[in-house]
């Protein structure tokens, strides 16, 4: 592995203990809620904060451990944050050339390298503009070119698309993906956006309260989330229970859930997509094996579909139980969905997957 890191430190009340590995040309995405420790881990890799324990090694060279701390200026690292932090008095071309120049590269060669990076990101024509004359999306690509112009072995991206207008994100994301495919070093991407993670990264690491709660390839994580936050990010309903015989998983909240079949017993997860949840004004009959009385908590319309957040009815002393359904805009109109409305939710057994916890 090009990157081999175990980041241990104390930041206020947060005890951080996160392991990160990435091969050459690999992209690792770190996801988690606010305060989970994602940016702290990134700053430790960059050398902006000291480790309390663990280590950071790149290409077999130790950058930091419990006793040593290599200065950030001596680490082969490039960093890009949501706020691009370009030098306002320099042109885009000069901003990108600044890194090579600061490392002793002759001016002509540094400017040629800047042109090559700008061209790779499709912004060579913006080279003579100053940051004030750039859109935010253009400035982010200039900042990425600046980070890459020093040939870093480790590229750190901290919410690089979060400050962009939603209309700009697909274009900038596509440019970033293309450039990362050509980058030979290791990349660590911190993001809240599951689309960024799923489209840019080879490996996902989910962090909560300073600890890794799940990791794997995007395909593995989407297929089998093992944490409520992970399930929320990948857009699945997830409930924990115990698997028994006959294809039934008894969950702690929803009661018996009939699945499409499983071979394991004991602690288990059951998962199903919001699109598998059907809504009815009355208790359904027929092939739907899993049904629950619910109340509408919220409705969020996105284009021609809506996410409907549901509270599953039960004894008042029980912890809240929730489901998310994805329905068409036509269904929202037909059922006249609104918060507080009583409905029934149903999921076919064939739509439910079960796997060991």
DSSP, residue by residue, 305-333 = EEEEEEEEP--TTSPP-EEEEEEEHHHHH
Interhelix angle 107-120/136-148, nearest 10 degrees = 130
Query: Would you give the end-to-end CA distance of the chain in angstroms?
Result: 29
329 contacts 305 by C-beta, under 8 angstroms: yes
Q: Quote the pLDDT of residue 245.
A: 65
At 217, list the tokens. 């390839």
Beta bridge partner(s), residue 318: none
Calpha distance 292→240 (Å, rounded): 17
Query: What does the pLDDT look like over 333-349, one tens digit per residue?
Result: 999 999 999 999 999 98
Q: What is the pTM of this model?
A: 0.82
The pairing of strands 14-22 and 27-31 is: unpaired
Higher pLDDT, 169 or 74: 74
Nearest to 297 by CA among 279, 306, 310, 315: 310
Query: What does the pLDDT look like over 40-66, one tens digit per residue?
Result: 999 999 999 999 999 999 999 999 997
Is 81's pLDDT higher than 90?
A: no
Neighbours of 322 (CB within 10 A): 16
Calpha distance 82→85 (Å, rounded): 9
Neighbours of 183 (CB within 10 A): 18
How is the chain split into domains, by residue range? 3-231, 236-356
Calpha distance 13→210 (Å, rounded): 10
Calpha distance 72→10 (Å, rounded): 20
Q: Indicate the range of 76-85, 168-177, 244-253, 341-350 predicted with least confidence.
A: 244-253
Q: Quote the pLDDT of residue 249.
A: 73
Kindly tell me the burial class for residue 355, based on how many C-beta atoms sit within 10 Å of its own C-beta (0-12, 13-18, 19 or more).
Answer: middle
Beta bridge partner(s), residue 325: 308
Rg (Cα) of the chain, in Å, rounded? 24
| Superfamily of structural domain 3-231 | P-loop containing nucleotide triphosphate hydrolases (3.40.50.300)
Give the Å distances, CA to CA, from 127 to 22, 44, 169. 32, 32, 21
Is 166's pLDDT higher than 80?
A: no
Domain spanning 236-356 has what CATH number?
2.40.50.100
Beta bridge partner(s), residue 56: 5, 64
């Amino acid at each position: 592995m090009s990157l081999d890191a175990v980041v241990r430190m104390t930041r206020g009340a947060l005890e951080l203990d996160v392991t990160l590995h990435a091969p050459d040309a690999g992209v690792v995405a770190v996801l988690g809620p606010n305060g989970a420790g994602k940016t702290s881990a990134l700053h430790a890799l960059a050398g902006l904060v000291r480790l309390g324990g663990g280590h950071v090694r790149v290409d077999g060279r130790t950058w930091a451990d419990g006793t040593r701390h290599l200065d950030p200026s001596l680490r082969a690292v490039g960093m890009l944050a949501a706020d691009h932090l370009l030098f306002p008095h320099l042109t885009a071309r000069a901003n990108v050339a600044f890194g090579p120049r600061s490392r002793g590269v002759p001016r002509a060669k540094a400017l040629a390298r800047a042109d090559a990076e700008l061209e790779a990101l499709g912004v060579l024509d913006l080279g003579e503009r100053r940051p004030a004359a750039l859109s935010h999306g253009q400035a982010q690509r200039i900042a990425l070119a600046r980070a890459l112009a020093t040939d870093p072995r480790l590229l750190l991206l901290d919410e690089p698309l979060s400050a962009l207008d939603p209309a700009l994100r697909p274009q900038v994301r596509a440019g970033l993906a293309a450039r990362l495919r050509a980058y030979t070093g290791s990349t660590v991407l911190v993001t809240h956006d599951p689309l960024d993670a799923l489209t840019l990264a080879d490996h996902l690491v989910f962090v909560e309260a300073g600890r890794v709660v799940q990791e794997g390839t995007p395909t593995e994580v989407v297929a089998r989330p093992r944490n409520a936050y992970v399930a929320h990010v990948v857009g699945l309903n997830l409930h924990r229970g115990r698997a028994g015989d006959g294809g039934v998983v008894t969950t702690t909240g929803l009661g018996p859930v009939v699945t499409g079949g499983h071979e394991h017993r004991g602690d288990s997860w059951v998962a199903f997509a919001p699109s598998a949840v059907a809504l009815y004004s009355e208790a359904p009959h027929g092939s739907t094996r899993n049904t629950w009385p619910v109340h509408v908590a919220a409705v969020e319309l996105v284009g021609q579909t809506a996410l409907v957040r549901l509270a599953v009815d039960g004894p008042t002393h029980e912890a809240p139980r929730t489901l998310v359904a994805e329905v068409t805009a036509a269904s929202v109109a037909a059922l006249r969905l609104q918060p507080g409305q009583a409905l029934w939710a149903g999921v076919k057994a064939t739509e439910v997957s079960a796997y060991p916890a």
